[in-house]
Amino acid sequence: MTEFKQRIFSGVQPSGNLTLGNYLGAIRNWVALQRIYESIFCVVDLHAITVWQDPETLRDATREVAAGLIACGIDPAECIIFNQSQVPGHAELAWIFNCVARMGWLNRMTQFKEKAGKNRERASVGLYVYPDLMAADIMLYKATHVPVGADQKQHLELTRDIAQKFNSDYGVDFFPLVEPLILKDTGRVMSLRDGSAKMSKSDPSENSRINLTDDRDTIAKKIRKARTDSEPIPSDLPGLEGRPEAKNLINIFAALSDQAGEDICKEYGGQGFAAFKKDLAELSVSVLGPITQEMKRLCDEKTFVDQVLKEGSEKAGAISEPILKTVHNIVGFLQ
Ligand code: AQP
């Protein structure tokens, strides 16, 4: 592996199929970053079980997400890919951070409020302390940068708060204050059924998302069915204001074709959505088709994927173990 000065850590939950949102909002950026930073990419299965996961499905999804990362261009020879539960240090440091973070801090986390919804009393304790585990994921490697979408910024600020409190409680200058890394800000890719909700793996509606495993016909059907309004496509970006579904489709087109949204509006402005959707489906298939094919090939090679994760876990362990050992010493645990 090449020598790097700065280290990034990022994770993706095996809580379902990878979506176009994961690809455009995260994985595509990670592929570019792996050449610049020492990169650690983690399939965060401990995070996934904060909501119920069927064990067999979780196993399959963990392999499928790892296959997806590799198929998108994350190179196991260049960076570390592993699944979180194979490195016990994540859970261990999370416990220490549970004792550093304050209830008041966690009470302010909007993702918990959104995910727990009205049924807070029935949400798992794990879902509540999810941000402490995320802080541990990052600090276990003393990562300096985390590539995140806008939705994760609050959790990253909490990571900084925890690192700072740990350093000040114990009178050390040990954990770095991690910086968010926002490369190409595609922003949030929204649901194809509801322009105000994020495209999500766990959305009960299959038609709300494009999965990286979807075939040509499925992609075309989902885009054809994508919700729009009755107005024609506007000729400029301000014309998309107050039209979340139209805006989302234009954003997806722009991101997939590496064009400015303004140019897409100019090209399709004044038309209905039929021709645009046909072109968007073609574009999606041309970008995602090779990824889907490679993912399928890798998913049939379970032993290869398992081996990548095992080797990745060993490399991750080799970086994190001395860090955790020093934490034990700082906290006052006998070694
Ligand atoms: N719709 C999205 N638009 C842009 N970025 C997205 N990401 C996820 N969805 C979108 C980014 O993908 C990375 C990995 O996300 P994750 O799997 O760890 O968790 P998530 O954000 O909670 O994703 P999902 O699909 O919504 O999962 P579930 O349904 O299980 O909660 C992150 O960097 C995220 O920003």
Q: Does any domain span residue 103?
A: yes
Same domain, 285 and 307: no
Could you tell me what percent of the chain has a pLDDT over 70? 97
Task: Name the region of 191 (left: φ>0; alpha: ψ -120 to 50; beta: rest).
Answer: beta
Diameter over CA atoms, the chain: 71
Same domain, 140 and 180: yes
Same domain, 114 and 231: no
- Which of 66, 67, 81 is CA-nearest to residue 34? 81
Q: Select from 8, 19, 22, 113 the residue to mutate for testing ligand 1; criterion: most ligand atoms less than 8 Å from CB.
A: 22
Residue 181 dihedral angles phi and psi, to the nearest 5°: -125, 105
* Count of the separate structural domains present in the chain: 2
Please list, in sequence order, all residues whose beta carbon lies within 8 angstroms of the beta carbon of residue 300, skipping any fewer than 6 positions away. Answer: none
- Which of 37, 70, 42, 306 is CA-nearest to residue 179? 37
Q: Residue 4 has what pLDDT?
A: 59
Q: Does any domain span residue 292?
A: yes
Q: Does any domain span residue 77?
A: yes
Quote the tokens at residue 47.
């995070």
Is-contact 42 9, C-beta < 8 A? yes
Ligand 1 centroid from CA 122, angstroms: 23
Q: Where are the alpha helices (DSSP H) in 215-273?
A: 216-225, 244-257, 261-268
* CA–CA distances in Å: residue 44 to residues 29, 81, 138, 193, 240: 18, 11, 12, 27, 36
Q: Select from 13, 110, 186, 252 the residue to mutate for testing ligand 1; criterion: most ligand atoms less than 8 Å from CB.
A: 13
- Which of 47, 14, 44, 15 is CA-nearest to residue 126? 47
In the block, residue with structure tokens 């793996």: 201
Same domain, 139 and 227: no
Quote the tokens at residue 57.
């499905």
H/E segment holding residue 186: none
Closest ligand 1 atom to residue 209 Cα is 1
Closest ligand 1 atom to residue 13 Cα is 17
Closest ligand 1 atom to residue 203 Cα is 29
Ligand 1 centroid from CA 11, angstroms: 9
Q: Does any domain span residue 251?
A: yes
pLDDT in tens, 64-87: 999 999 999 999 999 999 999 999
Q: Could you tell me the pLDDT band of residue 59, with boundaries at 50, 70 and 90?
A: very high
- Amino acid 26 reads A
Q: Select from 200, 203, 205, 210 the residue to mutate for testing ligand 1; criterion: most ligand atoms less than 8 Å from CB.
A: 200
Same domain, 320 and 250: no
Q: Does any domain span residue 23?
A: yes
Same domain, 318 and 274: no
Q: At 227, which CATH number?
A: 1.10.240.10
- Return the CA Rg of the chain: 21
Q: Does any domain span residue 85?
A: yes
Least confident of 86-100, 169-183, 280-294: 169-183
* β-strands 145-147, 179-181 pairing: parallel
Same domain, 132 and 271: no
Please list, in sequence order, all residues whose beta carbon lies within 8 angstroms of the beta carbon of residue 286, skipping any fewer than 6 positions away. Answer: none
Same domain, 103 and 130: yes
The Cα 9–Cα 7 span in angstroms is 7
Q: Does any domain span residue 111?
A: yes
Q: At 94, which CATH number?
A: 3.40.50.620
Q: Residue 118 has what pLDDT?
A: 83
Using CA positions, which residue lies closest to atom 24 of ligand 1? 200
Catalytically active residues are 115, 198, 201
Ligand 1 centroid from CA 22, angstroms: 5
Ligand 1 centroid from CA 25, angstroms: 8
Q: Residue 273 has what pLDDT?
A: 96
Range of the domain at 219: 207-296
Q: Residue 185 has what pLDDT?
A: 60
Same domain, 166 and 88: yes
What is the pTM for the complete model shown? 0.92
Please list, in sequence order, all residues whose beta carbon lies within 8 angstroms of the beta carbon of residue 157, skipping any fewer than 6 positions away. Answer: none
Q: Does any domain span residue 197?
A: no
Same domain, 273 and 249: yes
Closest ligand 1 atom to residue 147 Cα is 33
Buried b (16+ CB within 10 A) or exposed e, 47-86: bbbbbebeeeebeebbbbbbbbbbbbebebeebbbbbbbb
Q: Could you tell me the pLDDT band of residue 114, with boundaries at 50, 70 and 90?
A: confident
Same domain, 153 and 273: no
Same domain, 241 and 322: no
With a Cβ cut-off of 6 Å, ligand 1 is lined by: 11-13, 15, 19, 21-22, 25-26, 148-149, 151-152, 188-189, 198-202
Least confident of 146-150, 188-192, 227-231: 146-150
